Amino acid sequence: MNVSFTYGLRNTEQAAAEAVIRFIGKKEFVQGEGALPILQPQIDEALRAQHAKGLFKADAEQVAVMPTLGLYPAAHIVFVGLDSEGGATGLRLAAAAAAKALKKLRAEKVQVLLSDVLLDGSLAKLGIERSAQALTEGLLLSLHVRQPLKREPSERFSLKEVGFLPQGAAASAEDAALWEQGIAKGKLYAEGVVLARDLTNLPGNDLTPERLAYHAEELARELDLEIEVIDEWSAAEQRMGGLLGVGQGSINPPRMIVIHYKGNPSSDEAWGLVGKGITFDTGGISLKRADGMQEMISDMGGAAAVLGAMRVIGELKPARNVIAVIPTAENMPSDRAMKPGDVLRMMSGHTVEIVNTDAEGRLVLADGLTTAITRGATKLVDVATLTGAVSVALGTQATGAVTNNEALFNQVQAASDRSGERIWQLPAYPEYKKQIMSDAADLKNSGGRYAGTITGGLFIGHFAEDLPWVHLDIAGTAWLDSSRGWETKGATGVMVRTLIELIVHHE
Active site residues: 288, 362
Yes or no: say if 167 and 113 are a contact pair by the CB < 8 Å rule: yes
Strands 469-473 and 399-403: antiparallel
| Coil/strand/helix, residue 425 | strand
The C-alpha atoms of residue 332 and residue 174 are separated, in whole angstroms, by 57
507 is in an annotated binding site: no
The C-alpha atoms of residue 473 and residue 464 are separated, in whole angstroms, by 16
299 is in an annotated binding site: yes
326 HSE (CA, 13 A, CB side): 33
Query: Hey, CA dihedral for 107, 127, 503, 408, is it positive or negative?
Result: negative
DSSP assignments along 347-369, one per residue: TTS-EEE-S-TT--HHHHHHHHH
Yes or no: say if 356 and 337 are a contact pair by the CB < 8 Å rule: no
| Coil/strand/helix, residue 210 | helix
**Nearest alpha carbon to residue 197 among 490, 484, 486:** 490
281 is in an annotated binding site: yes
The C-alpha atoms of residue 488 and residue 147 are separated, in whole angstroms, by 12
Beta strands in 293-389 (DSSP E): 321-331, 343-345, 351-353, 379-384
H or E segment and range at residue 220: helix 209-223
Beta strands in 233-340 (DSSP E): 255-262, 271-275, 277-281, 321-331
120 is in an annotated binding site: no
The C-alpha atoms of residue 116 and residue 122 are separated, in whole angstroms, by 10
358 is in an annotated binding site: yes
Residue 385 contacts by C-beta under 8 Å, 6 or more apart in sequence? 276, 278, 298, 299, 300, 301, 302, 361, 473, 474, 475, 478, 479
Residues contributing to the annotated binding site:
276, 281, 299, 358, 360
Residues contributing to the annotated binding site for Mn(2+):
276, 281, 299, 358, 360
